[in-house]
Amino acid sequence: MYEKRSYRVVIVGAGFGGIGMALALKRAGIEDFVVVDAASDLGGTWRDNTYPGAACDVPANLYSYSFRPQRWSRRYPSQQETLAYLRTVAEEGGVGPHLRFGARVISAEFDETPGDWNVTLEGGDTLIAKVVVSAVGQLNRPALPDITGRDDFARPSWHSARWNHDVDLAGKTVAVIGTGASAIQFVPEVAKIAAHVDVYQRTPPYVLPKPDYPYPVRLQNTFDRLPVARKADRLRTFLYGELLTSGFVLSPKLLAGPMRMWRRQLDAAITDQALRAKCVPDYVMGCKRVLFSGDWYPTLALPDVALVTDPIERIVADGVVTADGQRRPADIIIYGTGFKTLDFLAPMSVTGRGGVELEDSWRNGAQAYLGISVAGFPNFFVIYGPNTNLGGNSIIYMLEGQVNYALAAIRALHSENADWIDVRPEVQEEFNRWVKAASSTSVWESGCSSWYTTASGRNTNNWPDHTFLYRYRIRNFDLSKYQVMPKRRVPVSAA
């Protein structure tokens, strides 16, 4: 017998977005909700990514909830410390009893007549919800490259977000495919243990310095005693992020400073001209994700690390063959190849009004009003939805704004005594015309291939403007942008 339970709000995903939403509901006095997550613990991306060297690349004073400052041990704390922080905040907020783990959402279907969502879990249980908040993130489903013979490799291999901690890397020859945000963090760690590392690179990233250091106890004390000092540090980081964003959305000319920093870092670490040339991107800074690390270039310069830029032709049982015919043996392959970022809520199947599938209405690229509401999908709010990723600032700042917006919408639904609210299609269209126009002049559409854009080069992932302007836009929930379905009843006297 399958279980059937109804809630006012079902939150899908227990990462920073979902936990943030849960905390907001608790604060608003709404207790009738559940947070479901397929995994066995909270944390989202901070639970999944346990590779050596995993850390945030935004200083933690900014990469944390504004309402819950933390005594961080260092400027860029490790994955464990960030995860522990989220766990503590969830515990303090009393979210625990609302969490349901091992609950993978298979489908969410909107039933128009009562105006309810039927959320089906793997195993058959159904949750009935007035409102669904999807907080599944953009970077949670590992993407493996389409390389011939990938399955022929007879030795251990894994994706960086599914790290195999049982395999000892000491003395091994490791092939790392990919040079994205994960790879630049774990390759320096792997290189310390392994005998040899081959790093297969398709496109070089821009790697900016990461001024990471442990906070001395005295500084930690100062932050605690003088909260304004921590706020000031937070603001400083935020403004630096906005400066980067200016370069991304206004003109790459504004990136002259970061370009100099990148060049200095590269030149200082790598003296070999050939290797240095391989590390120089041929695209505008920001078009692909800008990375932050102090040990990436020094690692590449190590004698037991090789940067391979010849395209991979195929993978064989014991190694990798590149297009030039060279065969490089490997004991282990680690894929640092990122995530499937373009189909957002997949593989969850979402069906809205009139039986329309979200997947179909997003066929030409995902879009939503303010990245949160999708026309035809009433009482459904997306946290970290289309066009709300950032290239230069803290995503927590975006999530907090979205959580507040969704909460205001949930309250409006109640105060209007409505069955459902659904964003007006022409409002969503107009918003996305603006997104398109703004994106067309941004670095993300300057002609590189990245996880921010669709195959046709359309930016579906990044917010194409300054970060504070997003928060300004979503500061109020405007009911007039939605159509409302009042609680249905037959007419007064015709009944």
Interacting residue ranges for other proteins, rule: CB under 8 A:
416, 424-427, 430, 478-494
How far are the Cα atoms of 36, 209, 269, 286, 381 from residue 264, in angstroms, in the given order? 46, 9, 9, 18, 44
- As measured in angstroms, the least distance from the Cβ of 324 to other proteins is 57
- As measured in angstroms, the least distance from the Cβ of 420 to other proteins is 11
Task: Return the number of the residue (314 or 353) whose C-beta is nearest other proteins.
Answer: 353
Torsion (CA) 281, 286, 291, 293 in degrees, nearest 10? 70
Backbone angles phi, psi at 3, to 5 degrees: -85, 145
Task: Return the number of the residue (263 or 487) whose C-beta is nearest other proteins.
Answer: 487
Distance CA 458, CA 231 (A): 36
- State the number of CA atoms in the 13 A half-sphere of 254 facing the CB: 15
84: number of Cβ within 10 Å = 15
Per the structure block, which two tokens stand in for 310?
Answer: 């010849």
- As measured in angstroms, the least distance from the Cβ of 180 to other proteins is 41
Phi-psi group of 309: left, alpha or beta (phi > 0 → left; psi -120 to 50 → alpha; rest → beta): alpha
- In the chain, the amino acid numbered 434 is W
Task: Return the number of the residue (455 or 490) whose C-beta is nearest other proteins.
Answer: 490
Using CB atoms within 10 Å of the CB of residue 58, give its burial: 0 to 12 exposed, 13 to 18 middle, 19+ buried. Answer: buried
- As measured in angstroms, the least distance from the Cβ of 416 to other proteins is 8
The DSSP output letter for 389 is: B
Angle at 422 (CA atoms; ends 417, 428), nearest 5 degrees: 145
- As measured in angstroms, the least distance from the Cβ of 354 to other proteins is 10
Task: Return the number of the residue (306 or 484) whose C-beta is nearest other proteins.
Answer: 484
Torsion (CA) 200, 313, 328, 315 in degrees, nearest 10? 100
- State the number of CA atoms in the 13 A half-sphere of 295 facing the CB: 14
Task: Return the number of the residue (147 or 427) whose C-beta is nearest other proteins.
Answer: 427
Q: For the CA atoms of the chain, what is the radius of gyration?
A: 24
Give the DSSP letter string of 269-324.
H---HHHHHHT--SS-TTSSPPEE-SSHHHHHTSTTEEEE-SPEEEEETTEEEETT
Distance CA 308, CA 312 (A): 9
Task: Return the number of the residue (236 or 411) whose C-beta is nearest other proteins.
Answer: 411
Task: Return the number of the residue (189 or 478) whose C-beta is nearest other proteins.
Answer: 478
Task: Return the number of the residue (322 or 483) whose C-beta is nearest other proteins.
Answer: 483
How far are the Cα atoms of 374, 472, 485 from residue 238, in angstroms, in the given order? 29, 15, 40
- As measured in angstroms, the least distance from the Cβ of 459 to other proteins is 25
Distance CA 300, CA 68 (A): 38
- As measured in angstroms, the least distance from the Cβ of 490 to other proteins is 5
- As measured in angstroms, the least distance from the Cβ of 78 to other proteins is 46
Task: Return the number of the residue (41 or 430) whose C-beta is nearest other proteins.
Answer: 430
- As measured in angstroms, the least distance from the Cβ of 353 to other proteins is 11
- As measured in angstroms, the least distance from the Cβ of 467 to other proteins is 25
Task: Return the number of the residue (242 or 416) whose C-beta is nearest other proteins.
Answer: 416
The DSSP output letter for 94 is: T
- In the chain, the amino acid numbered 259 is M
- As measured in angstroms, the least distance from the Cβ of 479 to other proteins is 5
- As measured in angstroms, the least distance from the Cβ of 437 to other proteins is 17
Backbone angles phi, psi at 274, to 5 degrees: -65, -45
Task: Return the number of the residue (243 or 484) whose C-beta is nearest other proteins.
Answer: 484
- In the chain, the amino acid numbered 192 is K
Task: Return the number of the residue (127 or 407) whose C-beta is nearest other proteins.
Answer: 407
221, containing H or E segment: helix 217-225
